[in-house]
Structure 1
Amino acid sequence: MPIMRYIVVGAGAVGGTIGGRLFQAGHEVLLVARGAHHDALKSGGLRLITPGSTQTLDIPVTREPVRLRDDDVLILSVKSQDTVAALDPWPRDVPVVCAQNGVANERMALRRFARVYGMCVWLPATHLEPGVVAAYGAPKSGLLQLGRYPDGVDALAGKIAADLSKSSFVGLAVPDVMRWKYAKLLGNLGNAYEALCGRASGGEEIMKRVRAEGRAVLDAAGIGYASPEEERARRGDEVDLRPIEGTERGGGSSWQSLARSSGSIETDYLNGEIVLLGRELGVPAPANEVLRREADRAAREHLPPGSMSPESLAALIDAETGRQAAS
C-alpha cells in the first residue's frame, strides 16, 4: 500500500492532536481549518502541547478542499452538527474516517461516500486558542479504535491503525467499532452536564438517571455496547490523563464549545441520540431531553460553561419527567 496523505478536516482538539502526532512521526498531513485557527496555523504552525513536550509544527493547512490523490484519506474530526457541511465539498471516492463523538456521523457520511470508517476516540485534549492544542494523554496520546462502517475491517483500516500506533497512539483495527462507539456515547451523555454545571458537585443522581435512560433505550433497541470494564481494560495503562504545567484542562468537548462561545454544541447528537431512539421506541428519556434542550439553549445564548446549578437542572428534569408521564 502506498504512503498515504492524511487530510484532517477539523484541526481542533482531536483533529489537531491526530494530525500533529502523525506529522511528528513522519507522515504526510494536511490540516483543514477555518477562521482565526486557520490563520494562526498558516502563519505560525500548530503549537502542540503534551505532558512531555511543546512543539510548533509547520503542518500544511488549507481552508478549501484540494486536488486529491489516490492515496488520500480524510480524517473527519468536526462536531457532528457540522458533518454534512464539512464533507460536502470533497469528492465522493475518497475514504472517510469519522473520528467523532456520537453514532450518527458514519451513516451521514455513507449517504455520500462509499468507503466510511468509524473511529472510537478516547483522546483527552483541549483547543481554546487559535493555533494551539493541548493533549493530556500519556504515555500515549489516545486510544483510537477504527473499523469499516457498519462493521468489519480491511487492509486500509489495518494500515491506518498501524500508522497511528507508530505515532504516539494506541491504534486498533476492530470489526465491531460501533459497539465501542455506543459505549462511548453512554459516557458522553455527561458532556452536557459538565458544560452546564461545570465542576459543581451534586450531579451524581442526575448522571445516574441520564445513563440509566441511555442504557434502557439502547437495550430496548437491541443495540450492543461495550461495558465500562471492557473500556478500561482496552485502554489499560497506556493512556492516562496527565497534567500539563501551565495549561489547565477545563473540560471536555461540549464544555469547550461553550468556553469558545461557538454558538452551537454537539448535544443533539449525544443526549439527543437517546431522545430520538426513545421517541421511536416509546421509552421515556426526560433527563436526556432536558440536558439536550438546556445545552442547546446555552450555546445559542452564548452562555459560559457552569452557568447553571445542579439544583436548577434537577428541578427541570423532575418537571420534564412529570410532563412526559402525564402526556
Structure 2
Amino acid sequence: MRYVIIGAGAIGGAIGGRLHLAGHDVVLVARGAHYAALRDKGLRLTTRDGVHELTIPVVDGPESIELTHDDVLILAVKTQAATAALDAWAARPVSKAEPRRAVGAGPHPASGAGPRRAVGGGATAAEVLPLICAQNGVESERIALRRFRRVYGMCVWLPATFLVPGEITTHSAPYTGALSVGRYPSGADETVERIAADLASANFLAPVRTDVMRWKYAKLVSNLANAVEAICGSGAGVEEQTLIARARAEAVAVLDKAGIERVPADEEQALRKGRVSFGPNDGSRGGGSSWQDLRRGNGSIEVDYLTGEIVLLGRLHDVPTPVNETLQRVANEFARERRAPGSMTGAELTTLIDG
C-alpha cells in the first residue's frame, strides 16, 4: 500500500511522517508555503522520541501524482475544505501498476509518481480506492460517500501542532496517537485490517472498530472545547471550563433526543489512559486544532462541523443550543476578522451567551 496524505498539516503530517519512518510508502499533499517547504527542505517532525528530518515525496495536488490500485487516500484536510478536496480527487484516473521496489530502496522522485510504472487502467479514484476520513466531526464521511464507494472513518486522538511551514510537532507518548478505524457507516474488511496494522507499526494505537462512528460522536462531544479554547485561549479557567461543560451538556441532550449512540466516556478514556498522554508542557503546543486555525490566520476554522453539528441537530430535533450557537458565531467572526486566538475572556463570552 502507498498512503497518499491529502492535507499534510498537523494530523496528516504526523500520520504521514510516522508511516514513512516505519518504512511505508507515503506521498504528502500540501499547498502554498507548506508545500514549498516540504519540497525544498523535507518534513521536520518533532516527536517525544526526537527530531526527524524526513525526505518524503510531496505534491501540490491530484494532477501531480499518478494513482494506482494499491493507493490509500487519507483525507486530513479540515472538514470545511473536504468538499473541494474530494471533488478534486474523485475523478482522477487510477492505473494498474507493476510490482514496486522493495521498501528501503531509497526515496523516489518528488513528483510523487512513486516507485512503480503504470501499465494501464481506466477506473477512477472514487470508484476503486479506499478513502479514510481522518478528521474531527462526523460530516466528512457523508460528504465522501456521495463521491467515493469505499469510505472509512477514523477517530483521531493525536495531539499535534502545525504553525510553521514544513514543521509538525507531536506531543504524546508512548504512542503518538490513537486512530480508531472502520468502514463507514459500519463494519470492517481486509483493507481496514491492513491499514490498522500499518498504523500500529508506525507507533499508533489503531484498533479496528465496526462501530467507528460511535467513537467519532464521542470525540465530537470532547471537541466542543475547541471553540472555547480558540476564543478564550488555551489556559482555561473556571469560566471557560463552565462554558465547555455547558456546551457538552447541550450536546448530550441533542444526541440523546436524536437517538445517536456514542461510546461512553470511560470506555473512550480507557483506550488512551497511560498510552496517549502529554509529557511535560514545554510551551510548544499553544492550543488545539481550532486554536491553530486562528493562530495561522488563514480566515477559516472548523467550528461549523463541531459546535455547528450540535446546532444543526438541535434545530432538527427541537432542542435549544444557545451555548453552541454563540460559540459557532463568535468563532467564525474571529476567523473572518483574523482575530488572534484568546482575545476574548470567558466572562465576556458568557455575557454574549446569557445576555
Q: TM-score, normalization: structure 1? A: 0.95
CA gap of 1:159–1:52, structure 2 versus 1, over 3 A, is same
Corresponding residue number in structure 1 for 2:156:
121
CA gap of 1:69–1:244, structure 2 versus 1, over 3 A, is farther
- Selected match of 1:204 from 238, 241, 248: 241
Q: Deviations over 1:131-162 (max 9, x none)?
A: 00000011110000000000001111111001
| 2-structure distance, mates of 1:242, 1:59 | 27
Flag as ranges the 4+ runs of structure 1 deviating above 3 A: none
User: 1:281 aligned to 2:278?
Assistant: no
Corresponding residue number in structure 2 for 1:136:
171
Q: Deviations over 1:24-64 (max 9, x none)?
A: 00000000000000000000000000111001100000002
Aligned residue type for 1:126: T
Q: Structure 2 matches for 1:106-255, cutoff 5 A? A: 106-198=141-233, 199-201=235-237, 202-243=239-280, 248-255=284-291
After superposing the two structures, state which structure 1 stretch, 24-33 or 195-204, moved more. 195-204
SS in 1 for 2:68: coil
CA gap of 1:9–1:183, structure 2 versus 1, over 3 A, is same
Aligned residue type for 2:247: V
Question: May I ask how many residue pairs the two structures share in their alignment?
Answer: 315
Corresponding residue number in structure 2 for 1:87:
86
Q: Deviations over 1:152-180 (max 9, x none)?
A: 01111111001000101111111000000
Corresponding residue number in structure 2 for 1:324:
none
CA contact (8 A) 1:136 1:243 kept: no
SS in 2 for 1:78: coil
Aligned residue type for 2:242: E
Corresponding residue number in structure 2 for 1:56:
53
Gaps of 5+ in 2: 90-124
| 2-structure distance, mates of 1:68, 1:109 | 18
Aligned residue type for 2:212: V
User: 1:257 aligned to 2:257?
Assistant: no
| 2-structure distance, mates of 1:185, 1:217 | 12
- Selected match of 1:97 from 132, 150, 156: 132
- Selected match of 1:291 from 311, 323, 327: 327
CA contact (8 A) 1:51 1:243 kept: no
| 2-structure distance, mates of 1:133, 1:85 | 24
Aligned residue type for 1:192: A
After superposing the two structures, state which structure 1 stretch, 225-234 or 42-51, moved more. 225-234
Aligned residue type for 2:3: Y
SS in 2 for 1:14: helix
Corresponding residue number in structure 2 for 1:78:
77
Q: CA deviation at 1:244?
A: 7.0
| 2-structure distance, mates of 1:181, 1:260 | 26
| 2-structure distance, mates of 1:181, 1:115 | 18
Q: CA deviation at 1:86?
A: 1.0
Q: CA deviation at 1:236?
A: 2.7
Corresponding residue number in structure 1 for 2:98:
none
Q: CA deviation at 1:227?
A: 1.7
Q: Deviations over 1:46-91 (max 9, x none)?
A: 0000111001100000002122111001001100000011111213
Aligned residue type for 2:226: N
User: 1:37 aligned to 2:72?
Assistant: no
SS in 2 for 1:74: strand
| 2-structure distance, mates of 1:242, 1:142 | 13
Q: CA deviation at 1:200?
A: 4.4
Q: Deviations over 1:218-251 (max 9, x none)?
A: 0000000112211111113121112475x62100
SS in 2 for 1:128: strand
CA contact (8 A) 1:75 1:97 kept: yes
Q: Deviations over 1:193-233 (max 9, x none)?
A: 00000024121221121000000000000000112211111
SS in 2 for 1:172: coil
Gaps of 5+ in 1: 320-327
| 2-structure distance, mates of 1:244, 1:281 | 41
Q: Deviations over 1:290-325 (max 9, x none)?
A: 000000000000000101111111011113xxxxxx
Q: CA deviation at 1:273?
A: 0.2
CA contact (8 A) 1:92 1:112 kept: yes
After superposing the two structures, state which structure 1 stretch, 201-210 or 51-60, moved more. 201-210
Q: Structure 2 matches for 1:283-322, cutoff 5 A? A: 283-319=319-355
